[in-house]
Amino acid sequence: MTVAGQTWAGTHVFAAPRLVEAQSVVEVQRALAAGGSVRALGTRHSFHDLADTDGTLVTVTGIPADPALDESRREVTVGAGTRYGVLARWLEDRGWALHNLGSLPHISIGGATATGTHGSGHGNGGLATAIRAFDYVDATGALVTVRAGDPDFPVLAVGLGAFGIVTRVTLAIEPSYRMRQDVSAGLTWDAFLADPDAVTGAAYSVSVFTTWVDDKVGDIWVKSRLDAVGAIAGARPREQTAALVGSTDNLTPQLGVPGAWCDRLPHFRLDSTPSNGDEIQTEYFVARSDAVGALSAVRALGSDIHPHLMVSELRTVAADDLPLSGAFGRDTLAIHFTWANHPEAVRELLPRIEAALAPFGARPHWGKWHTMDAAAIAAVVPRLAEARAVFERLDPDARFANAHLRRLGVR
């Protein structure tokens, strides 16, 4: 095993010859002062070499969270390496909340926002849309603060670690709210495709799970704020806890039991092993208005997808103005695949799925498997050149660039 180990699911072994486990911002600055290429490493929840380098990996997960609450501005500032679930519980204990969470509360704030991780809900922007400011260490070792409204902010909010090492993040918060989580089943594909928005917009956050091959869609997880409880027409409520990738023990409570937002928005509990672990993940973003066409195109490949799939999840994300976000400029449908650990079969399937989704301008999740090259990325990320110019200006010696970013045309 290398000094930095491997990604969470074992899909990539880090090649970096050096790892700095920083305990303070000063230690991050020292790592930059040592020279050479540098990349930030979070909780290792990416699935490829996005975070790798031929130089030094620097992880900030050991820097204390030190949350600082500003109730008058409705903001919290916290260490970038802090896991979302840790911050969420801290906020809930003080009567505050975030607008959304991903399915795993185990992911770090800095890593999740940098790669465009999102959560679900027609009215909910991705996790990076909550950022109000952040601090980062630049290529010279200086500590820089960027705030919403600054010219470079939209590019840097989902910045792929391409410009520096983010150390602290300020997020928008709101008063705590309570939720319930219900799971329904039995909805037919015909009924779903007749009005996808009616299903995905039925509650504050909705996830539709499918394996693509049956006449019925699969389980629909409906996460409702208690003042607006949603239901799915044409589906029946489950009376027992629904499993996800083989287990119920690690899931947040279902069956309509009320609870805090931080115990309902994620699918998995912070105190348990998330998901299956022995898996590969892929995700593509299309306009929500293209849902019928895009879902039908993937469904046509269902018999080939199914033998290698654990489950697919369909979620929605509100449009934003962050150029490297999957939801930039359009209300979005996210089509996610949790694959069994069949790497060769998955590598063969991905170009076919991408070709099926190409008419809809599908964008990949930056942290998950795909086969799109620089030309394909440029075709679907309209402000890629602008983002690249910002990174080149802030990091002219390409210290934060790596082979992955170059393959995609980001650096």
**Is the pLDDT assigned to residue 95 strictly greater than 90?**
yes
Whole-number pLDDT of residue 391: 98
Whole-number pLDDT of residue 278: 83
Q: Phi and psi for 240 in degrees, rounded to 5?
A: -130, 155
Whole-number pLDDT of residue 353: 98
Got the DSSP string for 151-173?
Answer: TTHHHHHT-TTSS-EEEEEEEE-
CB 148 within 8 A of CB 188: no
Query: What are the beta bridge partners of residue 166?
Result: 136
Q: Phi and psi for 236 in degrees, rounded to 5?
A: -110, 140
For residues 17 and 137, give the distance between their C-alpha atoms in angstroms, rounded to a whole number: 21
CATH code: domain 68-176 is 3.30.465.10
Q: In this structure, which amino acid lies at residue 292? A: V
How many Cβ atoms from other residues are within 10 Å of residue 187's Cβ? Answer: 21
C-alpha closest to that of 403 among 53, 126, 84: 53
The overall average pLDDT reported for the chain is 94
Q: How confident is the model at residue 54 (pLDDT cuts 50, 70, 90)?
A: very high
Residues 297-349: tens digit of each pLDDT: 999 999 999 999 999 999 999 999 999 999 999 999 999 999 999 999 999 99
Lowest mean pLDDT of 61-75, 232-246, 316-330, name the range.
232-246
Residues 139-194: tens digit of each pLDDT: 999 999 999 999 999 999 999 999 999 999 999 999 999 999 999 999 999 999 99
Distances, alpha carbon 345 to alpha carbons 49, 60, 239, 308, 319, in Å:
19, 35, 36, 7, 33
Burial 194-213 (b: 16+ CB within 10 A, else e): eebeebbbbbbbbbbbbebe
C-alpha closest to that of 222 among 203, 239, 209: 203
C-alpha closest to that of 197 among 242, 232, 239: 232
Give the residue extent of every domain in the chain.
Answer: 68-176, 178-264+271-370
Q: Which two tokens stand for residue 122?
A: 């027609």
Q: How confident is the model at residue 237 (pLDDT cuts 50, 70, 90)?
A: confident
Q: How confident is the model at residue 273 (pLDDT cuts 50, 70, 90)?
A: low
**Is the pLDDT assigned to residue 101 strictly greater than 80?**
yes
For residues 132 and 150, give the distance between their C-alpha atoms in angstroms, rounded to a whole number: 10
Q: In this structure, which amino acid lies at residue 157? A: A
**Is the pLDDT assigned to residue 1 strictly greater than 60?**
no
Whole-number pLDDT of residue 123: 97
- Domain 178-264+271-370 maps to which CATH number in 3.40.640.10, 3.30.70.2520, 3.90.1150.10, 1.10.260.40? 3.30.70.2520
Q: Phi and psi for 191 in degrees, rounded to 5?
A: -70, -40
Show the beta-strand stretches assigned E in 230-331: 236-237, 259-260, 279-287, 309-317
How many Cβ atoms from other residues are within 10 Å of residue 367's Cβ? Answer: 23
